[in-house]
């Protein structure tokens, strides 16, 4: 019997044992969706027949269980992110269109074996942090239907928390991927702006938008982010990652000074924040009070300054003809942009840079910040009574992050006495996404509270995030050792763990080596060559296993340093140059798996 929450580790174990397969899971998920007590979660659910067909097609193409990084994992997609063949509404029926191609991030997840369950509800045009601004209804917190789900990624959070998806995609401009996580006892992964492509996303504030991940555990969310991320030349705001590290011990984490601890009377959420501080100290962190004022001033600029004009820019043409079709609160926010001039935009930029100088000074003495995700939660009735003011309160500790280009991971922090959850967020420097994960995972496990609706669930050991002290050695594989291919079992037999799929730098060439059994490619680096970059996977082995694996590699292959698309390098398969003489070059295919598929076709 499946647990209430569909975490990845449990599903993979069931797949590996043969107790479950993607078709059976698709049937169960479809039945759960049909029986859900909250009809506002999805705007366009995938039908049972289509979901089962997608699962069956996956098994036909990749019959080996867990043979792709996200094999058979069901996920929901916020309805401002394109999925081919499903309407994109942005929660505004008059805006709807049906794309013929997936958003770049969705395409990557599908290629990794994940199955789309539907398009989830949101605050219209991703404008709001509460989840009530949709003509398709207001999803509710899974713990009390009288209370808001949080937004704007409302349906995405509730789908995971209610066991209707293993993970989901949201977006986060001002907190939309973190606040709903707090209100539904989930993890919210907010990557560094630009780390995930926004091609195929209906923009809210295009220069600040992030596609985010909701998951039951930090490990699940990080695994999804690793598949989804990567530089996209079609996205002008895409950025090449330059990984930042954090200390494995003695983490200096900034905490709010008492004068800045505003919880709007919610003393229980305030106490849960204090408990999270104490817990992170016991995990080896060092709490450092800091002045939040300049961060709060930056946060205010997002809605109470000229940046709101970027929201108007995103839908200006639609607004000109369809303003009456918009949610009144969303329309009021967007139309407030008309009160700002180009002069105001420059003044806002000056104010931001002055605040950033102050925040830079503060952050120089800290590794990360630990903040409340939201200072409180409100009922739907309370939110509708004061929709602007109370929505603004939700963003008090989230709005600044994207303006400063920071990464963040929100985790559950426990429950109030009335059974409603609260959350805290670790916020780190740009591209500290990977380094934040072990601390966030350790904090989630230490604070307890389970996963989603199941507050008593134990977090699976298989989803635990390795710490920075982990001595496993990354290995770049390019050919027969890729997931699902003939020699991948050699890695799994040695206890290797999959880290992520990525690409090489563009100056690599790939050849099909003649006479190899099973067929293998040869990877060569040619400085100055302008290629597409080649699809690779990164696995990790402990030192002893790495040594045994490397010693068994037959000539003309060997291990050398492979430079990746993000500029980092890792040990990986390379080929002696003489072996490719006369061998067909297959670089144009973009990778070994694509070459094999082309040959089959």
Q: How far is CA 374 from CA 48, 390, 450, 537, in A?
A: 36, 11, 19, 37
Q: What tokens were used for 472?
A: 């496993």
- Partnered with residue 502 across adjacent β-strands are 536
Q: How many CB atoms lie within 10 A of CB 295?
A: 29
CA distance 337 to 451: 39
According to the 3-state scheme, what is the secondary structure of 480-508? Answer: CCCCCCCCHHHHHHCCCEEEEEEEECCCE
CB 19 within 8 A of CB 475: no
Q: Which of 67, 78, 197, 374 is catalytic?
A: 78
Q: How far is CA 438 from CA 251, 255, 409, 410, in A?
A: 12, 19, 11, 13
CB 268 within 8 A of CB 377: no
Q: How far is CA 95 from CA 114, 316, 325, in A?
A: 28, 12, 9
CB 569 within 8 A of CB 455: no
CB 103 within 8 A of CB 1: no
CB 78 within 8 A of CB 150: no
CB 374 within 8 A of CB 150: yes
Burial class (CB in 10 A: 0-12, 13-18, 19+), 364: exposed
CA distance 398 to 192: 14
Active site residue 78: yes
Q: Which of 134, 153, 176, 432 is catalytic?
A: 176
Q: Which of 152, 153, 154, 374 is catalytic?
A: 152
- Known catalytic residues are 78, 152, 176
């Amino acid at each position: 019997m499946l647990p209430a929450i569909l975490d990845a580790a449990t599903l993979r174990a069931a797949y590996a044992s043969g107790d479950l397969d993607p078709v059976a899971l698709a049937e169960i998920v479809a039945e759960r969706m049909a029986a859900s007590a909250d009809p506002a979660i999805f705007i366009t659910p995938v039908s049972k027949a289509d979901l089962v067909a997608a699962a069956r097609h996956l098994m036909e193409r990749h019959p080996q269980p867990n043979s792709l990084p996200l094999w058979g994992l069901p996920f929901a997609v916020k309805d401002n992110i394109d999925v081919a063949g499903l309407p994109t509404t942005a929660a505004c029926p008059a805006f709807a269109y049906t794309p013929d191609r997936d958003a770049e991030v969705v395409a990557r997840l599908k290629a990794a074996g994940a199955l789309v369950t539907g398009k989830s509800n949101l605050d219209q045009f991703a404008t709001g942090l509460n989840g009530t601004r949709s003509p398709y209804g207001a999803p509710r917190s899974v713990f009390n239907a009288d209370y808001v789900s949080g937004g704007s990624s409302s349906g995405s959070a509730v789908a995971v928390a209610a066991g209707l998806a293993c993970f989901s995609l949201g977006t986060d401009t001002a907190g939309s991927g973190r606040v709903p996580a707090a209100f539904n006892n989930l993890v919210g992964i907010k990557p560094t702006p630009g780390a995930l492509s926004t091609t195929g996303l209906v923009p809210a504030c295009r220069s600040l938008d992030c596609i985010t991940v909701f998951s039951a555990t930090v490990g699940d969310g990080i695994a999804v982010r690793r598949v989804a991320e990567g530089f996209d030349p079609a996205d002008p705001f895409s950025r090449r990652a330059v990984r930042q590290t954090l200390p494995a011990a003695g983490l200096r984490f900034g905490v709010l000074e008492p004068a800045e601890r505003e919880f709007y009377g919610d003393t229980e959420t305030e106490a849960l924040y204090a408990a999270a501080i104490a817990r992170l100290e016991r995990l080896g962190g060092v709490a450092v009070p800091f002045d939040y004022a300049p961060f709060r001033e930056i946060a205010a600029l997002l809605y109470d300054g000229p940046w709101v004009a970027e929201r108007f820019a995103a839908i200006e043409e639609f607004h000109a003809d369809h303003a009456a079709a918009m949610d009144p609160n969303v329309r009021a926010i967007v139309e407030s942009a008309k009160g700002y001039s180009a002069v105001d935009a420059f003044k806002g930029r000056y104010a931001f840079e002055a605040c950033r100088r102050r925040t830079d000074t503060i952050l120089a003495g800290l590794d990360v910040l630990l903040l409340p995700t939201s200072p409180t939660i409100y009922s739907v009735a309370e939110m509708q009574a004061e929709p602007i003011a109370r929505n603004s309160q939700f963003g008090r500790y989230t709005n600044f992050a994207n303006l400063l280009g920071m990464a963040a991971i929100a985790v559950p922090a426990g429950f109030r006495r009335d059974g409603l959850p609260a959350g805290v967020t670790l916020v780190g420097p740009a591209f500290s996404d990977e380094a934040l994960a072990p601390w966030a995972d350790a904090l989630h496990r230490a604070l307890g509270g389970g996963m989603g609706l199941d507050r008593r669930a134990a977090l699976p050991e298989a989803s635990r995030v390795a710490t920075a002290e982990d001595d496993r050695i990354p290995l770049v594989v390019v050919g027969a050792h890729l997931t699902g291919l003939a020699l991948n079992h050699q890695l799994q037999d040695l206890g290797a763990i999959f880290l992520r799929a990525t690409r090489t730098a563009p100056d690599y060439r790939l050849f099909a080596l003649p006479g190899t059994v099973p067929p293998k490619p040869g990877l060569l680096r040619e400085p100055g060559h302008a290629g597409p970059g080649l699809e690779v996977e990164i696995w990790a082995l402990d030192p002893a296993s790495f040594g045994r694996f490397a010693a068994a590699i037959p000539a003309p292959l060997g291990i050398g340093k492979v430079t990746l698309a993000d500029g980092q390098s890792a040990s990986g398969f390379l080929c002696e140059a003489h072996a490719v003489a006369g061998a067909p070059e297959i670089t144009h295919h973009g990778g070994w798996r694509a070459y094999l598929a082309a040959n089959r076709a």
